[in-house]
Structure 1
Amino acid sequence: MRCVCRLLPALAVLAMLAVALVPAARAADPMTGANPTAQSVNERDLLNALGKLQGRITIPDGKAATLEQPQGREYRSFHERVLPWLAGIIILAVLAGLAAFYLIKGRIPAPPRDPGGRTVLRFSAVERLGHWLTATAFVVLAITGLNYFFGKRLLMPLIGADAFATWSHWAKYAHNFVAWAFMLGLLVMIVAWVRDNIPDRVDIAWLRAGGGFLDGSHPPAERFNAGQKLMFWGIVIFGLAISVSGVLMLFPFALLDINGMQFAQYVHATAAVLLIAVILGHIYIGTLGMEGAFQAMESGSVDLNWARTHHSVWAEKVLAEERAPRAGRPGTPAPAE
């Protein structure tokens, strides 16, 4: 009896080995001894080779055929980790830089007004309409867009999940519909101002002088100085990138597959953050930064001395055009300046 008890553990080990070896032996090819199961392509190999796993479906929605797509994990990491930090750092850095510049340099004062009270037309009604349409739409888009990756972190803890869900629901509708107003306004601005924003030699001198922000000088400038031209092209490039990628997302999977949709969101979010940074600088210059700048976009006209100070080359061209018709009329002497 004792011998049998001593043999039981050894018999148990032999039984376990037999159970483990029998399936492999059965699966092996009796002629070659190869195991087809061990040599088959596994899921990881397919993902590495194809980038996604797809199946065969009979329903109309073709997107359901993608069973697993590893790029989705990369997109989720970008959206949930990289993007919030990227946006937060860029926006806070721009705000801090503008605040520091204002505290150090203060507001650029307006020159003494023209003794005769003369003004020049700087922006037409169509130009102002395009500007304010784009600006208003962009404010709505920026607020509702930032909600996508800051809302649940900053807003939801303050107002609660139910209120945040309601706000996000309507914010999404506002974002989708106001986008068309932004694109229309952007198109108007491009048509109206692209000619005046082509770089020229005057811009080189303006950049070398740093725009006069450090020493208080006023280097010559055309209708738009080099800084404004850089801002214009930044708005155009980032605005077009936002518009194209946004339209692709408004009509999901019409032209792109899942990888294309994710790439469109990369472009949309990154360009939007950069455009917000550019617009913050534009808002600063147009309000706190420079006295008299807001009046140009409010009424369309600016004081003649203000134009001569900040845009001397353009101001002289405008005055020359005003003098030309009067100088061409018989008996009407051209005014001396």
Structure 2
Amino acid sequence: MIRDPKDLKRYEPQERANHWVVGISFILLALSGLAFFHPAFFPLTQLFGGPTWARIIHPYIGVLMAVSFLAIFIRFKHLNKMTPADKEWLAKAKNMVDGDDHNMPEQGKYNGGQKVMFWALAVCMLLMTLSGLAIWRAWFGLDITVVRLGAVVHAAAGAVMIGLIMVHVYAAIWVKGTIRAMWYGTVTRGWAKQHHRGWYRQVTGK
């Protein structure tokens, strides 16, 4: 698809690829994880070739997601540091939800809501990785008490992360013009000026 040459580059190809690896890994993990969590979801194991293969594959996909997310974290953590403007944005977030985003505080590449999402996902990812290793009995023969605690933490962090990702996807669809940033790596100047004025000025010099 031909894009307007005046569009602004928001993500490099490797950044988008990194994002999609995490996203696809998460979907696979959520499906297999739900199958293990409750009998009602057990038929989902057939997507992986049956319960045995689902159990074998799940932790390895988890390692892939953890490593891929770590790359995202290292690349973007400096852009997600909270500022006074972010706190002001969060205080006025209801206006954004109501569709009135014209008087929101000026934001950089990411707004306050996106930054909260970033750090919440980072905490969940850390908890899921550590607890996942604790219950991976094929490789780590830890004490049964640790395994049981790890299972509870893993399930709780997984449930929270599913909820966060649902909000993330909904917000990307709701704010028109956002999804194309991860498909094509670019956004329109109008989108950037309306939603991320600070970043718009930074990349255009205006």
- Asked whether the two chains share a fold, i.e. TM above 0.5, the reply is yes
d(CA) in 2 for partners of 1:293, 1:253 = 41
Q: Which amino acid aligns with 1:298?
A: W
Find the counterpart in structure 2 of residue 299 from structure 1.
Answer: 184
Residue 203 to residue 243, structure 1, CA distance change in 2 (3 Å): same
How far did residue 251 of structure 1 move? Answer: 4.2
**TM-score scaled to structure 1, two decimals?**
0.55
Cα deviation 1:86-112 (Å, max 9, x = unaligned): xxxxxxxxxxxxxxxxxxxxxxxxxxx
Provide the TM-score with structure 2 as the length reference: 0.88
| Larger relative contact order (Cα-Cα within 8 Å, sequence gap ≥ 6) | 2
Identify if the C-alpha distance between structure 1 residues 253 and 118 changes in structure 2 by more than 3 Å, giving closer, same or farther. Answer: closer
User: Is the 8 Å Cα contact of residues 248 and 254 (structure 1) preserved in structure 2?
Assistant: yes
Paired position in structure 1 for 2:82: 199
1:146 maps onto 2:30 in alignment = no
Instruction: Return the offset for 1:313.
Output: 0.8
3-state SS, counterpart of residue 205 of structure 1: helix
Contact residue 202 and residue 222 of structure 1 kept, 8 A: no
Offset, 1:254: 3.7
For residues 156 and 185 of structure 2, the distance between their equivalents in structure 1, rounded to whole angstroms, comes to 33
Q: Give the AA of the match of 1:318.
A: V
Q: Which residue of 1 aligns with 2:110?
A: 224
Q: Tell me: CA distance 1:172–1:254, structure 2 relative to 1, closer, same or farther (3 Å).
A: closer
Spell out the pairing of 1:148-167 with structure 2 (5 A cutoff): 148-150=36-38, 152-155=39-42, 167=50
Q: Aligned with 2:187: secondary structure?
A: strand
**2:196 aligned to which of 303, 308, 311:** 311
TM superposition shift of 1:244: 1.3
Q: Would the alpha carbon gap of residues 154 and 243 (structure 1) be closer, same or farther in structure 2, given more than 3 Å must change?
A: closer
Aligned to 2:166: 280
Say if 1:198 and 1:255 are closer, same or farther in 2 by CA, change over 3 A.
farther
> Kindly tell me: are residues 154 and 141 of structure 1, through their superposed partners in 2, closer, same or farther at Cα, counting changes over 3 Å?
closer
User: Which segments of 5 or more consecutive residues in structure 1 lack a partner in the other structure?
Assistant: 1-115, 321-336
From 97, 106, 127, give the equivalent of 1:241. Answer: 127
User: Separation in 2 of the partners of 1:137 and 1:129?
Assistant: 12
- Please say if residues 127 and 188 of structure 1, whose CA atoms lie closer than 8 Å, have aligned partners that are also in contact: no
Q: Which protein has the larger Cα radius of gyration, Structure 1 or Structure 2?
A: 1
AA partner of residue 34 (structure 2): L
Map Cα deviations across residues 219-256 of structure 1 (whole Å, 9 max, x no partner): 22111101101111111000111011112222468473
Task: For residue 257 of structure 1, report the CA deviation from its aligned partner.
Answer: 1.1
Aligned counterparts of 1:155 and 1:126: Cα–Cα separation in 2: 35
**Aligned-pair distance for 1:208?**
2.1
Aligned-residue offset at 1:286: 1.7
Partners of 1:204 and 1:300 lie apart in 2 by 28
TM-fit CA distance, 1:153: 3.0
